[in-house]
């Protein structure tokens, strides 16, 4: 807690933390929106969410190692993950869509372990990142530095977000996805091929995660086994924001990003992951306390 | 099978298990067998909540780690100061007399189990109020948060782990000692759970699994039963953890004590593989899993964990009933269930329609 004094004496540090946190949080928003999409449309909580993020990061890293600028990794990772997502849906997920929620949780948990171990075998367990080659921006007499790549990442998230909103409003597939989310049976009766909608939703979610992963590898680091943290972050954001409200998801994601930066600074960076998981437990308990007030059962 | 016959079978199995260390051919594998009992304990304790009560916990590993650390800390602090111990552990391990060792182990496991029960009761009153998938993911977070906390806490060795005292020579080899220790634990746990499932408690938690709201409405104190079930599960897991720390000698916070990705997942997989919600399912599942895992380890070196991930997906998606569950569906009469053929045909055709 010694760092608290630093914050109090030099408030400008909190501006630094806040900006970093908001920019990082915007990346969380992508994966979280994907999770809300899956949850809302298919009623699946995807534990392998974070591993698609990390996989997207490795796709970008592979490009980077081949001498291509990592920013091109964003569309490429999205495309590759779209195909991976489609394949995973066709192999496993379509079998668990209509079944008990816990079966899908466990099945995606298995996929998560499978992907982690595959990435460990193929890319190695080291912490890696891709250098974007962009510089820093200095604000407030150089007291606050913002790396340009984080700003670029933020811009990418905004563009993807707008594209998503348009996709769901305007396109036939977007409308079909929304219809299926409202009532799958009715959608089927109206001639919507819900199986195709589900496949599309799952692939779209994976693509969103892939794009997020490409941004993560440029702004931060990746490692085969940290995917679960992104799953938990997404889950938390969705629990706080609710399903199907993109503005709330973005707000919650930005808040989480900022909270994490402050926690990492105050508690020490080694407790950041612990903070994320601890926060999850707290959020669920608090949520349950509020729900309990409305529930009339034996104590 | 009828009552006395069943009893004779149980006794014969236990006697056979106790005789294994006397067979010369099997003696080199006693540690392996000890691991098997640990696996069985994992699966059985997970099944209390996951199978019988329908609350799928990914965080039971917390109790395992708590028991392990509590035991190791008691063993350490009973006879050494922290500094002494750190010095000793740096070079070779602490040497104790048999009496000191057994006292430390006994007290440690006891206090670990107590601590686990307290933690289960305190956490349970909050977390067990969560339903379904919220509970599953909350416990997932709990397990990992515990591991991260242990990695940062200096008193228990932080990230560099903790070394448990070495088994004194007078108590014999590691193999037989831990073989019997875990065997006794597994037999006691099995007997206690069998007794619990057969009585009112078993009916209550099964009612919670089938429909918690209805159980609530019928006047069942659901949260109370749920908490007790978690305490039972945590109690045995903590005992297992305490002994396990002494078996492997070195306690790493995230790879041994709070090993969510390995033990934490395995206990779920084993219970489902064998058939969750059945008495023998976890035992059979753990045995099959342990053998499979050894085969993977031998023939797929480097890829064994990939194969395990694949195995989870395959078992969960294609074989969710598990071995015993499948047998039960196939031959219900053998499990003491009365089958009304007419109603069954109706049910089957309904299932087909769905």
CATH code, B68: 1.10.3470
Inter-chain residue contact A298 with B219, CB threshold 8 Å: yes
Per residue in A35-65, pLDDT tens?
Answer: 999 988 888 889 899 999 999 999 999 999 8
Q: Are residues B294 and B328 in the same domain?
A: no
Per residue in B278-314, pLDDT tens?
Answer: 888 899 999 999 988 888 877 877 787 788 888 888 8
pLDDT computed for residue A87 by the predictor = 94
**Structure pTM?**
0.84
Q: Are residues B92 and B198 in the same domain?
A: yes
Q: Are residues B267 and B349 in the same domain?
A: no
Q: Which of residues 266-285 of B touch A (CB under 8 A)?
A: 268, 272
Is the pLDDT at B10 greater than 70, yes or no?
yes
Quote the CA–CA distance of B330 and B312 in Å, as a whole number: 23
Enter the tokens of residue B179. 């073989």
Q: Are residues B261 and B159 in the same domain?
A: yes
DSSP string, chain A: -THHHHHHH-THHHHHHHHHHHHHHHHHHHHHHHHHHHHHHH----TTHHHHHHHHHHHHHHHHHTT--GGGHHHHHHHHHHHHHHHHIIIIIHHHTTS-HHHHHHHHHHHHHHHHHHHHHHH-SS-B-------EEEETTTTEEEEHHHHHHHHHHHHHHHHHHHHHHHSHHHHHHHHHHH-HHHHHHTT--HHHHHHHHHHHHHHHHHHHHHHHHHHS-B-TT-HHHHHHHHHHHHHHH-TT-HHHHHHHHHHHHHHHHHHHHHH-GGGHHHHHHHHHHHHHHHHHHHHHHH-----
In a domain, B9, yes or no: no
Is the pLDDT at B93 greater than 60, yes or no?
no
Of residues B336 and A283, more confidently modeled = A283
Q: Does A119 touch chain B (CB under 8 A)?
A: no
Range of the domain at B123: 29-320
Q: Does A101 touch chain B (CB under 8 A)?
A: yes
Q: Are residues B83 and B141 in the same domain?
A: yes
Out of A45, A114, A232, name the one closest to residue B141 (CB): A232
Q: Name the β-bridge partners of A128.
A: A222
Q: Are residues B280 and B346 in the same domain?
A: no
Of residues B83 and B16, more confidently modeled = B16
Inter-chain residue contact A278 with B145, CB threshold 8 Å: yes
Quote the CA–CA distance of B76 and B84 in Å, as a whole number: 10
pLDDT computed for residue B41 by the predictor = 93
- Which of B176, B136, B218, B164 lies closest to B32 in space, CA to CA? B176
Q: Determine the distance in angstroms separating the CA of B310 from the nearest CA of chain A, rounded to an integer.
A: 6
* Chain B CB contacts of A288 below 8 Å: 126, 129-130, 134
Q: Are residues B212 and B344 in the same domain?
A: no
Is the pLDDT at B255 greater than 50, yes or no?
yes
Minimum CA–CA partner of B261 in chain A: A113
In a domain, B311, yes or no: yes
Inter-chain residue contact B317 with A235, CB threshold 8 Å: no
Out of B56, B130, B145, name the one closest to residue A284 (CB): B130
pLDDT computed for residue B348 by the predictor = 64
Is the pLDDT at B155 greater than 90, yes or no?
no
Q: In chain A, what are the domain boundaries?
A: 3-294
Is the pLDDT at B350 greater than 70, yes or no?
no
* Chain B CB contacts of A273 below 8 Å: 144, 148
In a domain, B244, yes or no: yes
pLDDT computed for residue B354 by the predictor = 44
Lowest mean pLDDT among A171-180, B80-89, B264-273: B80-89
Out of A102, A280, A292, name the one closest to residue B133 (CB): A102
Q: Are residues B109 and B234 in the same domain?
A: yes
Which of the residue ranges A201-205, A269-273, B79-83, B141-145 has the most confident prediction, judged by mean pLDDT?
A201-205
Of residues B337 and A102, more confidently modeled = A102
Is the pLDDT at A2 greater than 70, yes or no?
no
Per residue in A103-148, pLDDT tens?
Answer: 888 889 889 989 988 998 888 888 888 777 777 777 776 777 788 8
In a domain, B335, yes or no: yes
Q: What number does CATH give the domain A3-294?
A: 1.10.3470
Q: Are residues B335 and B205 in the same domain?
A: no
Q: Are residues B61 and B135 in the same domain?
A: yes
Q: Determine the distance in angstroms separating the CA of B20 from the nearest CA of chain A, rounded to an integer.
A: 35
Q: Does A297 touch chain B (CB under 8 A)?
A: yes
Residue of B145, B272, B308 to mutate for A, most A C-beta atoms under 10 A: B145
Of residues A4 and B325, more confidently modeled = B325
Q: Does B57 touch chain A (CB under 8 A)?
A: no
Q: Are residues B206 and B310 in the same domain?
A: yes
**What percentage of chain B has pLDDT greater than the value 70?**
90
Q: Does B144 touch chain A (CB under 8 A)?
A: yes
Quote the CA–CA distance of A272 and B175 in Å, as a whole number: 40
* Helix, strand, or coil (residue B233): helix
Query: For the residues A15-22, what does the mean pLDDT come to?
Result: 85
**What percentage of chain B has pLDDT greater than the value 90?**
23
Is the pLDDT at B44 greater than 90, yes or no?
yes
Query: For the residues B224-234, what does the mean pLDDT come to?
Result: 91
ipTM of the complex, rounded to two decimals: 0.81
pLDDT computed for residue B88 by the predictor = 54
Which of the four pLDDT bands, split at 50, 70 and 90, describes residue B275?
confident
Q: Are residues B290 and B146 in the same domain?
A: yes
Inter-chain residue contact B309 with A107, CB threshold 8 Å: no
Q: Name the β-bridge partners of A137.
A: A146
Per residue in A174-230, pLDDT tens?
Answer: 999 999 988 889 999 999 998 999 999 999 999 999 999 999 998 888 888 888 889
Q: Does B313 touch chain A (CB under 8 A)?
A: yes
**What percentage of chain A has pLDDT greater than the value 70?**
96
pLDDT computed for residue A100 by the predictor = 79
Using alpha carbons only, how large is chain B's radius of gyration in Å? 21
Which of the four pLDDT bands, split at 50, 70 and 90, describes residue A298?
very low
Q: Name the β-bridge partners of A145.
A: A138
Q: Does A127 touch chain B (CB under 8 A)?
A: no
pLDDT computed for residue B46 by the predictor = 93
* Chain B CB contacts of A228 below 8 Å: 140, 144
pLDDT computed for residue A77 by the predictor = 93
pLDDT computed for residue A90 by the predictor = 92
Mean pLDDT of chain B: 83
Query: For the residues A237-262, what does the mean pLDDT come to?
Result: 87
pLDDT computed for residue A60 by the predictor = 92
Query: For the residues B78-95, what does the mean pLDDT come to?
Result: 59
Query: Domains in chain B: how many in total?
Result: 2
Which of the four pLDDT bands, split at 50, 70 and 90, describes residue A242?
confident
């Amino acid at each position: 807690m010694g760092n608290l004094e630093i914050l109090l004496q030099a408030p400008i540090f909190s501006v630094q933390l806040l900006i970093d946190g908001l920019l990082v949080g915007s990346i969380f928003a992508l994966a979280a929106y994907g999770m809300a999409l899956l949850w809302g449309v298919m009623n699946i909580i995807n534990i392998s969410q974070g591993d698609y993020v990390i996989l997207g990061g490795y796709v970008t890293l592979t490009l980077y190692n081949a001498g291509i600028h990592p920013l091109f990794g964003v569309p490429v990772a999205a495309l590759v993950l779209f195909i991976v997502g489609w394949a995973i849906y066709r192999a496993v997920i379509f079998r668990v869509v209509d079944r008990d929620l816990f079966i899908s949780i466990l099945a995606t948990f298995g996929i998560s372990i499978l992907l982690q171990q595959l990435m460990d075998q193929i890319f190695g367990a080291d912490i890696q990142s891709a250098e974007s080659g962009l510089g820093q921006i200095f604000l407030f007499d150089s007291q606050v530095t913002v790396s340009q790549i984080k700003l670029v990442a933020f811009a990418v998230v905004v563009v993807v977000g707008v594209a998503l909103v348009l996709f769901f409003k305007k396109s036939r597939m977007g409308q079909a996805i929304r219809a299926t989310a409202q009532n799958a049976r009715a959608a089927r009766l109206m001639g919507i091929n819900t199986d195709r909608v589900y496949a599309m939703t799952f692939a779209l979610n994976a693509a969103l995660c892939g794009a997020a992963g490409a941004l993560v590898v440029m702004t931060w680091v990746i490692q085969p086994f940290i995917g679960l943290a992104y799953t938990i972050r997404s889950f938390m954001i969705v629990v706080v924001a609710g399903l199907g409200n993109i503005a709330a998801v973005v707000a919650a994601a930005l808040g989480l990003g900022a909270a994490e930066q402050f926690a990492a600074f105050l508690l020490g960076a080694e407790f950041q992951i612990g903070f994320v998981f601890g926060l999850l437990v707290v959020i669920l308990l608090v949520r349950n306390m509020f729900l309990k007030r409305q529930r009339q059962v034996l104590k | 099978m009828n009552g006395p016959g069943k009893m004779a079978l149980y006794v014969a199995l236990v006697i056979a298990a106790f005789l294994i260390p006397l067979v010369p051919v099997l003696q080199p594998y006693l540690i392996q067998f000890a691991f098997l009992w640990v696996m069985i304990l994992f699966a059985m304790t997970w099944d209390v909540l996951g199978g019988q009560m329908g609350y799928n916990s990914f965080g039971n590993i917390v109790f395992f780690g708590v028991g392990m650390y509590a035991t190791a800390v008691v063993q350490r602090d009973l006879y050494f100061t922290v500094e002494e111990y750190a010095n000793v552990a740096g070079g070779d391990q602490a040497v104790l007399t048999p009496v000191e060792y057994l006292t430390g182990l006994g007290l440690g496991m006891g206090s670990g189990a107590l601590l686990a029960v307290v933690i289960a009761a305190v956490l349970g009153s909050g977390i067990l109020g969560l339903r379904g998938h919220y509970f599953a993911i909350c416990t997932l977070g709990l397990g990992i948060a515990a591991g991260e906390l242990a990695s940062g806490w200096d008193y228990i060795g932080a990230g560099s782990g903790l070394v448990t005292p070495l088994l004194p020579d007078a108590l014999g080899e590691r193999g037989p000692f831990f073989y019997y220790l875990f065997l006794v634990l597994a037999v006691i746990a099995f007997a206690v759970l069998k007794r619990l499932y057969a009585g009112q408690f078993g009916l209550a938690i099964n009612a919670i699994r089938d429909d918690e709201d209805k159980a609530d409405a019928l006047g069942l104190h659901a949260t109370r039963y749920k908490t007790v079930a978690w305490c039972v599960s945590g109690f045995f897991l903590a005992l297992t953890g305490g002994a396990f720390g002494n078996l492997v000698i070195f306690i790493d916070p995230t790879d041994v004590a709070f090993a969510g990705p390995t033990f934490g997942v395995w206990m779920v997989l084993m219970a489902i593989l064998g058939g969750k919600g059945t008495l023998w399912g976890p035992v059979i599942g753990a045995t099959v899993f342990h053998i499979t895992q050894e085969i993977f380890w031998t023939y797929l070196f480097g890829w064994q964990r990939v194969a395990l991930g694949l195995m989870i997906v395959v078992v969960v998606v294609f074989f969710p009933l598990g071995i015993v569950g499948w047998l039960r569906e196939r031959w219900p009469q053998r499990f003491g269930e009365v089958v009304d053929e007419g109603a069954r045909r109706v049910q089957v055709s309904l299932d087909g329609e769905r």
